[in-house]
Structure 1
Amino acid sequence: MTTNSAILIEIAIPVLLMLGLERFAVARFLRTPAQIAWVRRHGWLHPNSISRARYPMGVISVILLHLGFPRLCFLFFTFWMITDITDGEIARKCDLHTEEGETIDPLSDKLMYSPMLIYLAWLGWLDPLLVGLFLSFDIVGQFSRNFIKVKAANLFGKAKTFLVVVLLIVVGLEWIYGPLPLLARTIQPLLGICAALAFCSLAFKLIPNYWYANILSIMNLVCGLGGCWVVLAGGPPVYALGLVFLGQFLDLFDGRAAERWGSTPKGEIFDDVADGTSFGLTVGLIVATCFTQLWVGVLIGGLYLGAVVYRLIRFVVEKRKQGILGGVATFSGLPSPAGALVAGTTCVLVPSQAVNGVIVVATALLMISRVPYAHFGRTILPKIPKIVLVLVLGAFLFLLAQGVRRDEYLAPLLLSYVAALSYLASPLWRLFRKPSPKT
């Protein structure tokens, strides 16, 4: 049996079966009011009870690994991490959310993965310094819940937990099956990213809530300035595009942060300047450098930048005229983050300058058009099943890690490009949908 076949049979299929059974059980037994009432009457099914049941499971996982049962440890650990999805679903569907649960749930996650991190650092699989930094930020962050108002995990905390699980999966596969070429040299970089996310999670707990949106916008701006510097310094455009991707991730949440926690009087200006820099100027420079004739590149890149600036100004002006204080569900014209993804990825991937010019100009025209586009974060993302999101995000992170290791980014770029073009064509879906019957 080959290594890939062994991983598929011994690890992948059992994990997918556990996840599938968990999803089926939640969907099947939380459908009716009677089922929900039955769950609410049984304390052992309360989300807080499930979270508390995870407390000792991290130590038990380490014991199984130390005794020489790595496959059993892998599946046991995975099962209990899946229950972290279960208790959240029960809390939402049964209205069992409590303030105590906002502290218990992240504590149970830490008690799950911390013993394993310490054990792997002791054996030399993980850098002890990075593990120490990560756990220091994590402990202080957990302790801070005793005196902060918002106790629930923030975006960085959720991303940190997800990535720590990915890290332990990578280590577990190499422990069981030996060095794997696809995973080579990814462990320590992943641990470093986890430590950085733990720091951000802690910092965002201590900073006043109304600064959250501004900080995300400023980080987006820094990404944009970094991308401009990469292009002007003659660096590979794909590195600049990577910073734009990161800026898009940050931009996905700054508006919702402002709606939830408020912002400063200049918050909207921060957001527009950041978007214009990352999605307009950086991508405009990427466009300009993909043409052999400088004047053609400057012309098309300038046209694209002008469309982004016009798009941002028009959005703010019309929003104020209509008296809209929060976000919107539908945009008039292609949003600038999506336009940046289409135009930038086209110029990096497609070798034909003629095709690049046509797609960039078409993207610019769509941005200043009145074609309706659904807000990705508010309208589309909530409709996608969480398991699909987790699998797609995991696949993208894996492909990205491989790209960083090899300095070859074709696979993650193609995945991003397919997603961008699908969103670009999304208004066409309405033309093919059957109209609902009138009553």
Structure 2
Amino acid sequence: MIPYSAILTEIAIPVFIMLALERFAVYFFLRTPRQVAWVRRHRWLHPNAISRARYPMGFVSAILLHLGYPQWCFLFFTFWMITDITDGDIARKCDLNTEEGATIDPLSDKLMYAPMLVYLAWRGALNPMLVFVFLAFDITGQASRRFIKVKAANLFGKAKTFMVVVLLIVVGLEWIYGPLPILGRSIYPLMAICAGLAFCSTFFKVIPNYWYANILSILNLVCGLAGCWVVLSGKPAVYALGLVFLGQFLDLFDGRAAERWGSTPRGEIFDDVADGTSFGLTVGLIVVVSFTKLWLGLLLGGFYLFAVIYRLIRFVVEKRRKGVAGGVASFAGLPSPAGALMAGTACVLVPSQPVVGVIVAITSLLMISRVPYPHFGRAILPRVPKIVRVLVLGAFLFLLALGVRRDQYLIPLLIAFAADTIYLVSPLFRRQSGNAD
């Protein structure tokens, strides 16, 4: 029997209390200019000092685990990882960001989790090869800070650190309470995700910044082509939809990468081709194979693909006509990523073919319509508190990793379908102002 009550009282509640106290302290003691000045005067509260204090704590955590104090190790490790949030807030609110801090903060994170990963791999709780691959990319990324201009952690690096902490939490719970059927199956996929994020974090540090957006678009294109192959080879459509999910995650950042670091002259074309392949062709093929009558699948899949291509071309043409540089805050018509999510999840989740046909048709019509929709990355996501974004992303990735391991995707698919449904009907409950794309 899984000891849920013990996990709640011995681990979950103490961790929640630590996080709540840390958030209260940061809010309460950094409210006024006088408090900020007091923090700035005390060197032991400098973000760099807090980061350096973490240097030995990963080794201490591994020693505690080796000596047979797993619960103390868990809580001790969690406390010091929470301080990573603290020093970031102090740096921003007290204007104490330094070039040195951009290097030592990620180093302190690595020194926190690397000893634990090595020890757990030595004890057989983690795959040694995956740990080696992960640490090889991680060390290379840290070493690259000696010769690159931008030393701060990128988005992939931050996601990597968060997912490593999630991985160690899962392994730690199994270590303390014995085999946990649900959590245990997610360990290998989580380690693979961490290794992939470590590679992306390192790779995006050493290439020219203006290629960031193009590489994200090309990776999105690769996801789309792989999704097409999955469908055409007769494999379950849910695997292709998983590649579309990954493409959407990449597409979320390529526009902002282009705005921040620039892009190549053909960057916008790369993005459109990638979107058309992942969100148009791949999902169109999923629609085709979802119907027993081939002519009906071809009709609906073809109409959906036409809607995606038409929408992408209309967006570029009207954007250039208006002379809009950079991204936009709202769209005329349902964005193609949202359309792909709705049509794809409907094909996989809904058993009734007539209902699927209606959903695909409505989705296609909304994409070519003029119904205003907010940009998710620019208009919606910034309004969500950072801690909520991190927790939701972590929970979704965990459920996805669990689905990969057990081949059960119902929960993440239902979450995606529900979220996209809310977005699809959102224009009914809000007013849009200004010009759309």
TM-score (ref. length: structure 1) = 0.95
Partner Cα separation in structure 1 for residue 390 and residue 267 of structure 2? 31
- Contact 2:117–2:126 (8 Å) recurs in 1: yes
Matches within 5 A, 1:302-381: 302-381=302-381
| Alignment partner of 1:245 is 2:251 | no
Partner Cα separation in structure 2 for residue 5 and residue 269 of structure 1? 54
Partner Cα separation in structure 1 for residue 159 and residue 336 of structure 2? 25
Q: Deviations over 1:179-230 (max 9, x none)?
A: 1111233323322222222122111111111111111000000000111111
Partner Cα separation in structure 1 for residue 376 and residue 341 of structure 2? 13
Q: 5+ unaligned residues in a row in structure 2: which ranges? A: none
Aligned to 2:282: 282
Q: 5+ unaligned residues in a row in structure 1: which ranges? A: none
**What is the letter of the counterpart of residue 177 of structure 1?**
Y
Which secondary structure does the structure 1 equivalent of 2:235 belong to? coil
**What is the letter of the counterpart of residue 200 of structure 1?**
C
| Alignment partner of 1:161 is 2:161 | yes
- How far apart are 1:295 and its partner, in Å? 1.0
| Alignment partner of 1:71 is 2:71 | yes
**What is the letter of the counterpart of residue 62 of structure 2?**
V
Which secondary structure does the structure 2 equivalent of 1:88 belong to? helix
Query: Relative contact order (C-alpha < 8 Å, sep 6+): which is higher?
Result: 2
- How far apart are 1:2 and its partner, in Å? 5.5
Aligned to 1:421: 421
| Alignment partner of 1:144 is 2:148 | no
- How far apart are 1:386 and its partner, in Å? 1.9
Aligned to 1:39: 39
**What is the letter of the counterpart of residue 238 of structure 2?**
V
- Contact 2:396–2:412 (8 Å) recurs in 1: yes
Q: Does 152-161 or 1-10 show the bigger shift?
A: 1-10
Partner Cα separation in structure 2 for residue 109 and residue 190 of structure 1? 18
Partner Cα separation in structure 2 for residue 401 and residue 364 of structure 1? 30
Which secondary structure does the structure 2 equivalent of 1:425 belong to? helix
- How far apart are 1:37 and its partner, in Å? 2.8
Aligned to 2:388: 388
Aligned to 2:197: 197
Which secondary structure does the structure 1 equivalent of 2:331 belong to? strand
| Alignment partner of 1:273 is 2:273 | yes
- How far apart are 1:329 and its partner, in Å? 1.2
Matches within 5 A, 1:179-218: 179-218=179-218
**What is the letter of the counterpart of residue 332 of structure 2?**
S
**What is the letter of the counterpart of residue 392 of structure 1?**
V
Q: Does 197-206 or 265-274 show the bigger shift?
A: 197-206
Partner Cα separation in structure 1 for residue 39 and residue 367 of structure 2? 48
Which secondary structure does the structure 1 equivalent of 2:430 belong to? helix
**What is the letter of the counterpart of residue 312 of structure 1?**
L
Which secondary structure does the structure 1 equivalent of 2:152 belong to? coil
Aligned to 1:402: 402
- How far apart are 1:429 and its partner, in Å? 3.0
Q: Does 195-204 or 6-15 show the bigger shift?
A: 195-204
**What is the letter of the counterpart of residue 159 of structure 2?**
A
- How far apart are 1:391 and its partner, in Å? 2.0
Partner Cα separation in structure 1 for residue 25 and residue 293 of structure 2? 60
Q: Deviations over 1:86-145 (max 9, x none)?
A: 222222222222211111110010010011111112222222222222212111111110
Partner Cα separation in structure 1 for residue 318 and residue 252 of structure 2? 21
Partner Cα separation in structure 1 for residue 95 and residue 370 of structure 2? 40
Which secondary structure does the structure 2 equivalent of 1:331 belong to? strand
Aligned to 2:7: 7
Q: Does 12-21 or 254-263 show the bigger shift?
A: 12-21
**What is the letter of the counterpart of residue 259 of structure 1?**
E
Partner Cα separation in structure 2 for residue 186 and residue 156 of structure 1? 20
Q: Deviations over 1:261-308 (max 9, x none)?
A: 111111100000000000011111111111111111111111111111
Matches within 5 A, 1:107-122: 107-122=107-122
Q: Deviations over 1:226-254 (max 9, x none)?
A: 11111111111100000000000000000
**What is the letter of the counterpart of residue 160 of structure 1?**
K
Which secondary structure does the structure 2 equivalent of 1:59 belong to? helix
- Contact 2:230–2:240 (8 Å) recurs in 1: yes
Number of residue pairs matched? 433
Which secondary structure does the structure 1 equivalent of 2:348 belong to? helix
Partner Cα separation in structure 2 for residue 360 and residue 39 of structure 1? 56
- How far apart are 1:383 and its partner, in Å? 1.2
Which secondary structure does the structure 1 equivalent of 2:227 belong to? helix
**What is the letter of the counterpart of residue 408 of structure 1?**
Q
Partner Cα separation in structure 1 for residue 306 and residue 191 of structure 2? 40
**What is the letter of the counterpart of residue 82 of structure 1?**
I
Aligned to 2:412: 412
Partner Cα separation in structure 1 for residue 135 and residue 405 of structure 2? 26
Partner Cα separation in structure 2 for residue 49 and residue 407 of structure 1? 45
Q: Does 42-51 or 170-179 show the bigger shift?
A: 42-51
| Alignment partner of 1:102 is 2:82 | no
Which secondary structure does the structure 1 equivalent of 2:422 belong to? helix
- How far apart are 1:24 and its partner, in Å? 2.4
Matches within 5 A, 1:76-91: 76-91=76-91
Partner Cα separation in structure 1 for residue 176 and residue 218 of structure 2? 43
Q: Name the % identity.
A: 78
Q: Does 227-236 or 422-431 show the bigger shift?
A: 422-431
- Contact 2:190–2:398 (8 Å) recurs in 1: no
Partner Cα separation in structure 2 for residue 118 and residue 178 of structure 1? 20
Partner Cα separation in structure 2 for residue 98 and residue 332 of structure 1? 42
Which secondary structure does the structure 1 equivalent of 2:102 belong to? helix
- How far apart are 1:82 and its partner, in Å? 1.1
- How far apart are 1:160 and its partner, in Å? 1.3
**What is the letter of the counterpart of residue 250 of structure 1?**
L
Which secondary structure does the structure 2 equivalent of 1:142 belong to? helix
- How far apart are 1:170 and its partner, in Å? 1.1
**What is the letter of the counterpart of residue 366 of structure 1?**
L
**What is the letter of the counterpart of residue 142 of structure 2?**
Q
